[in-house]
Structure 1
């Protein structure tokens, strides 16, 4: 083979090698650009998500309006009776609940008597079980109206009126705000412009919903749930509670304790 041919073959091999190296370099640059672009996209998405979260966190939660005199966790309790009474009756109730209506009709006078003597105070938790089970808004609307009455210092009186006029749970008559305002006429001095606006505007709807949500996490599942000084006393079919038994239990719990300071309570 001539020197010229050998040099020609070597030059061809070198050219092929050089081309392969260029191809490899080009592929490497391409992969680098792809990976780099993906990283940029991921970082951009992460930046957008972080921005959304930051904006979300920066928006303060809207406070839930609480009625005058509300107590307990998150101000979700409506108290009646002397604040310093030695015993407390805790009641979880739904104004559409027929069992709650039965409890009120049976024990209302006894509870009022114990409250008015300073022996007992009651803590009411308002919930909306029947609205959830049967549909409608009667539990919510009646609860809101009762809390509007609390603002006017007439919760107990209107509370009694609602149960005295409780419709069949399937009718959802309490869903009609006009009917609730009609019932307010039964409590002297309650139906003011302020009360009417409170009922019509659903001023405390969010408060009622928050109270109902708190009931969901309370460990109880039905209404009425009635506790005396933290102990369940109602609903035991083998040993049913009676008004006389309730009096006896309160007297026993209060033995040696001073009665609470009683202030006059408006009645219907």
Structure 2
């Protein structure tokens, strides 16, 4: 007896279905790559010392060096953490979110000083095409006033809750001045920011700091590069 003939005719898979499946596969591969990268890199991005906030001890001061470095800390501290950051850099923002409060507590305790070297290579990725430079200038305006806790709060705001997205819109000088006022800065600091008078100086400082820098964020302690993928990099340094 012959087998019954099936009336079902297989239909070819549509090109739309093929593209959709290919898209799903690419997403899965990308997620695996990201997961492997994070696994190999280490670091959980879990906020350290959450709730501490920025440095708040009045004995913490801030000074603007002639090369544009912004030095935050109590006088005569032997151990220095040097941090290279671009104000638009998402990874720099994540570093500040994860370790900023831990750094602040160590500053208040007199265990470290922090030397910020701000750079501007992401100007081209900002909506205004000069945000990083203007943000560096704003940092210098706040720093030269000399109040450590105010600078610490301003820096924290600028790199965390108020950091613009790379490739999107950014803050104009009036908005940068408003953030400085929110941190406690006075009218003279706000005027320094809104005038844009420090822009050329800040650009020179940022470009100098960029020389030989492989990328941001980059952290050095006593001149040695730190693996910030290790959650305990700061805790290990101040034991």
TM-score range, shorter chain: 0.5 to 0.7
SS at match of 1:226: strand
Q: TM-score scaled by structure 1?
A: 0.60
Q: Do 1:97 and 1:130's aligned partners in 2 also have CA atoms closer than 8 Å? A: yes
1-structure distance, mates of 2:227, 2:165? 22
More helix by share: 1
Matches within 5 A, 1:89-100: 89-100=81-92
1-structure distance, mates of 2:132, 2:169? 8
Residue 170 of structure 1 and its aligned partner are, at CA, apart by: 1.2
SS at match of 1:206: helix
Matches within 5 A, 1:17-28: none
Q: State the match for 1:220 in structure 2.
A: 213
Q: State the match for 1:250 in structure 2.
A: 238
Relative to structure 1, the CA distance from residue 89 to residue 186 in structure 2 (aligned partners, 3 Å threshold; closer, same or farther) is: same
Residue 248 of structure 1 and its aligned partner are, at CA, apart by: 1.8
Larger radius of gyration: 1
2-structure distance, mates of 1:245, 1:127? 23
Residue 211 of structure 1 and its aligned partner are, at CA, apart by: 1.6
Q: State the match for 1:199 in structure 2.
A: 193
Q: Do 2:120 and 2:207's aligned partners in 1 also have CA atoms closer than 8 Å? A: no
2-structure distance, mates of 1:79, 1:233? 19
Residue 70 of structure 1 and its aligned partner are, at CA, apart by: 1.9
Structure 1 stretch displaced more, 126-135 or 81-90: 126-135
1-structure distance, mates of 2:75, 2:178? 31
1-structure distance, mates of 2:175, 2:126? 19
Residue 142 of structure 1 and its aligned partner are, at CA, apart by: 1.3
Q: State the match for 2:153 in structure 1.
A: 157
Q: State the match for 1:65 in structure 2.
A: none
In structure 1, stretches of 5+ residues that fail to align are 1-67, 252-268
Match of 1:137 among 101, 106, 130: 130
Q: State the match for 1:103 in structure 2.
A: 95
Residue 172 of structure 1 and its aligned partner are, at CA, apart by: 3.7
The alignment's C-alpha RMSD in Å is 1.9
In structure 2, stretches of 5+ residues that fail to align are 1-61
Relative to structure 1, the CA distance from residue 215 to residue 75 in structure 2 (aligned partners, 3 Å threshold; closer, same or farther) is: closer
Aligned length: 173
Relative to structure 1, the CA distance from residue 172 to residue 187 in structure 2 (aligned partners, 3 Å threshold; closer, same or farther) is: same
